[in-house]
Each structure stands twice: as C-alpha cells, then as structure tokens.
Amino acid sequence: MGEMRTTSLSDEQIERIGEIAEEAARKSIMSRVPKRGISNLSISIELEETETVNVEVDVEIELSPLLKGINAKTLADESVTAAFKAVEEYLRETGCRSGR
C-alpha cells in the first residue's frame, strides 16, 4: 500500500488515479508476457482519501504452464511498482503534493 499526502482531490481525480494505476500495472505485465501466456489476471485498486490518499494495488497473475523462465510473483510485484510510479507522476503533473 502506498500513502501519498495530497491537497484535496476531486472525485474525477480519484477515479483517474485508479484508472492510471490499473493501466500502468497491466501495461507492465503485457510488456513482458504475451496475452496468450496469461491464464488469469486480476488487478485490484483501492483508494481512500483522508488527509492522505491511500492507494492499495493488488495484482494476482497466473501464467500458462507453457511459459518458462518468468516468475509470476516477480512480475506482479514489478507491475505494482509501475502502478505507484504512474500515480506519483500523475500527482506531480496535476500539481498535487505527493510525499510517499
């Protein structure tokens, strides 16, 4: 989970953060594994805004048994990192303060 201090966000910005996080996680995975190599993929984004924005990204991936040499856990962890980086970049671009 990541915690980011921000100024108040609109509902649209919060929705956009969720979209950005999911897109970044999915793009990270798809850049390493062909779609047919994925048996199951679940990306869950939860956001809660109080004084900070709490972002929780959960990625579960099951790869085809034919896919050798790729660790699903490592792939999921890397996609979570990509999601947080994308959210931080969005917050910087929109002028929201971010202090993770």
Least confident of 16-25, 54-63, 66-75, 89-98: 89-98
Largest CA distance in the chain: 47
Q: Which CATH superfamily is domain 2-93 in?
A: MTH677-like (3.30.300.100)
d(CA 94, CA 29): 26
**Domain boundaries in the chain?**
2-93
- Per residue in 11-53, pLDDT (tens digit) is 888 899 999 999 999 999 999 999 999 999 999 999 887 777 7
d(CA 45, CA 48): 10
d(CA 85, CA 90): 9
How much is the pTM? Answer: 0.84
DSSP notation for 15-52 = HHHHHHHHHHHHHHHHTTS-GGGEEEEEEEEEEEESSE
